[in-house]
Amino acid sequence: MDQNITQVKIRPAIGIARVGNSATEFFAGPESPDRMPEQPGFYKDAAGEVVRELKLNEGGVSEIVWTVRLANKKAAWYQFHLPLDIPEGKSLAPALYGRRNAAVVGADRAKLFTPGTGRTVCPFVDDAPVAAQPGLLDRAALEHCAADAFHPGSEVTWPIRRGTLYTEPFRVRHRAVNDPEPDYGASLTAEKALAPNGPTYAQGPGDLTRWMAAPWQTDAARCRSGYEVLSNQAALPHLSAAAGTWAAAGGDAAAVEDALVGQAVRRAVAETRYSEEEISAGYDERLDPFHEGL
């Protein structure tokens, strides 16, 4: 049998890194899907700081090496009000297609862009059969993401659902380092955004996240906006409970966790939950049992 290596691909094809502020603790990211939840407190160290995913040279990480380049382009990108790949996104007022921080012009706009530097990282894998590992790694990286319609989204927003963004399933089309992106002008309309070789085609560092809201909280709080008319803020969002967009008081939360409780009680709790706007407006002692999770 031919043992020559003819192709090498990095998996997961789309990686989601969880960041934290712990100076000492880390955890290994999932390498297979359908894992059981960790115990409460798993993602915090003894000082209460959030632990990060495994870093270089810890936990036996070694051997295979590649470079990751991160960037933050949000402040220099365009406003985000509606996805530009739905009918409503094609008929916004002209001013809503404009740049963020439009008053910053010329060479000063470079100050809005944080390019970051390349960093070398190393992976490790499960003991699953080799043929199964690529698919498992892809699923494991994405399984706990909010995802759904990506509007606005949590990890990324609507361009991630465009087929033009990929060279194959889950494999984002890369923009070459020597192929700078063109300047799309003072405004970015739907026609420009979706045009061949536009910003929903090849991607460079920071390109996927530059569409996200500033500040980031809107990415979760406004999900589903534009897809339906909401009659009240108690409408159920599509985001998972992990997003923390909604919260219930201690007694209500305990009630719905009871397997014997009826649908009427569950619906009553859903209609009286606290939205993120209410949580952000001020601390409420009734939410104290859940305050750490918010």
pLDDT in tens, 167-179: 998 999 999 988 9
pLDDT band at residue 234, thresholds of 50, 70 and 90? very low
CA distances 214 to 55, 70, 80, 101, 159, Å, are 28, 18, 9, 11, 17
**Residue 141: how many CB atoms within 10 A of its CB?**
21
**Mean pLDDT over the full length of the chain:** 74
pLDDT at 145 over 70: yes
pLDDT at 41 over 90: no
What sections of the chain are H helices per DSSP?
133-142, 190-194, 217-221, 250-256, 263-271, 276-281
Both structure tokens of 248: 């219930």
Q: What percent of the chain has pLDDT over 90?
A: 25
Q: Is there a contact between 206 and 71 (Cβ–Cβ < 8 Å)?
A: yes
155 CB-contact burial (10 Å; exposed 0-12 / middle 13-18 / buried 19+):
middle
- 14-40 pLDDT, tens digit per residue, is 877 777 788 778 777 777 777 777 888
Which has the minimum average pLDDT: 14-23, 145-154, 282-291?
282-291
- 198-213 pLDDT, tens digit per residue, is 999 999 999 998 998 7
pLDDT at 185 over 60: yes
Mean pLDDT of 267-278: 62
Distance, in Å, from the CA atom of 107 to the CA atom of 98, rounded to the nearest integer, reads: 18
Of 170, 149, 174, which Cα lies nearest the Cα of 239? 149
Of 212, 215, 92, which Cα lies nearest the Cα of 150? 212
Contacts of residue 43, defined as CB under 8 A and 6 or more positions apart, other chains included, come to 20, 27, 50, 51
Distance, in Å, from the CA atom of 141 to the CA atom of 120, rounded to the nearest integer, reads: 19
